[in-house]
Amino acid sequence: MGFLKNLFGKKSSQPSPTSTQPSLVEPPVSNPPKITTPPKTTNEALLKEVIQIAKEIPEPDVISDELTSISIPSSVGDTLVHKIDDYVAQDPKNIDMYLVKHSVLSLMLRGQDAQEALDKATSINPHHIDVDLAKNMMSTWGMFPKWGENITTLPNNIRSYIQTKPMLVVRDGLSLGLAVFNVVNPSEFPMGFSPSIPSKWEPVFSKTPMGAIVAHYTVFADNPSDPYRNEKFLNISTGDTLTTMSGRKIVERLSYVRGCYIIFTDGYRILYNKFYVPDSRTRQAWDNTVRQTLAYHEYVGANEFKQGYSWHMNHFQLSNIKI
């Protein structure tokens, strides 16, 4: 793999043939009852509708932390907002619904209605990462690309973005999730990219002499005795403006997600696309990284960040990251 490879029952009893007992014959049933699955609850049906309509919200042409203009057809936006209102009437503590509503209304330039939705979300959890970001006018749900395991071709907006930043905040249903992209040469993977091949993603908090950083590792067990490992880094320093896709906020988001998408790409081709849910040990590593990051309150400039990750690469054993 080159540098990244190293781096980065019983049978039923039968009656006796001499038995003289008459056999019992069930009368024929002309119309046997149908076996049906129980109907979905109203909430489940509404949730399905909301998710389906939300998929119709356009995506940004360019991925950016800056507030952007996305044209949402009023028929789609209004329908989604109405369905969300129907849902929260039965589940008034669903913060994701209010955050999506806020984002859509903001993009439709309905500021007062958007603020009311954000106020509702704030009353549920004023410390939620996306409540905080929305209050500070950072990018919200509708400003990110959607993602799922069914996507087989890399959209142009994502392809452009991951050339320099391998981690991306994405729409994952009605919440924001994380996707980790690995741009690779398929010829270096003779075993291919079967979805059955195990993979994992793990972050590591590293206190370097130049300041703290977070290293993160994608492991792909194409060859269990020598798995592919990819090493990347996040700058977690505090700054004047912490955007949705800043390293510190990406790490903080780990507390809000069940897992992350691990993707391997070659050009526009998606070779591997799997939602990874960490086991208990790796989940503990996620939680520890979040805790250490949020306790770190120093500024690390661009030069110190580069020197820091170079120091980490020279002092950290990749073999510590197990599949």
DSSP string for 24-60: P-PPP-SSPPPP-PPPPPHHHHHHHHHHHHHTTSPPP
Please determine, for residue 9, whether its predicted confidence score (pLDDT) is greater than 90: no
pLDDT of residue 11: 30
What residues contact residue 161 under an 8 Å CB cut-off, 6+ apart? 63, 168
38: Cα separation from own chain's centroid: 31
Share of the chain above pLDDT 90, in %: 78
| Positive/negative CA dihedral, 124, 128, 130, 133 | positive
The whole-number average pLDDT for the span 92-114 is 96
**How far is 227 from 218, CA to CA, in rounded Å?**
10
pLDDT band at 42 (very low <50, low <70, confident <90, very high): low
CATH superfamily of 42-142: Tetratricopeptide repeat domain (1.25.40.10)
**How far is 296 from 184, CA to CA, in rounded Å?**
33
The whole-number average pLDDT for the span 156-169 is 93
**How far is 303 from 5, CA to CA, in rounded Å?**
26
Question: If we measure between CA atoms, which residue out of 149, 184, 168 comes closest to residue 62?
Answer: 168
pLDDT band at 1 (very low <50, low <70, confident <90, very high): very low
pLDDT of residue 282: 97
State the pTM of this model.
0.85
Residue with the bigger pLDDT between 66 and 125: it is 125
pLDDT in tens, 48-82: 999 999 999 999 988 877 766 788 999 999 999 99
Domains in the chain: boundaries: 42-142, 145-320
Give the pairing of strands 260-266 and 175-183.
Answer: parallel
Please determine, for residue 284, whether its predicted confidence score (pLDDT) is greater than 70: yes
User: Could you tell me the two tokens for 123?
Assistant: 């009353």
Question: If we measure between CA atoms, which residue out of 173, 148, 154, 128 comes closest to residue 63?
Answer: 154
Question: If we measure between CA atoms, which residue out of 101, 93, 108 comes closest to residue 141?
Answer: 101
**How far is 235 from 173, CA to CA, in rounded Å?**
27
**How far is 31 from 131, CA to CA, in rounded Å?**
56
User: Could you tell me the two tokens for 164?
Assistant: 């320099």
Question: If we measure between CA atoms, which residue out of 168, 114, 163 comes closest to residue 146?
Answer: 168
Q: Find the range with the poorest average confidence among 41-45, 213-217, 257-261, 264-268.
A: 41-45
pLDDT in tens, 10-22: 333 333 333 333 3
pLDDT in tens, 222-274: 998 899 999 999 999 987 678 999 999 999 999 999 999 999 999 999 999 99
Q: Is the distance from CB of 149 to CB of 273 less than 8 angstroms? A: yes
pLDDT of residue 62: 87
pLDDT of residue 3: 39
pLDDT of residue 6: 39
Please determine, for residue 321, whether its predicted confidence score (pLDDT) is greater than 50: yes
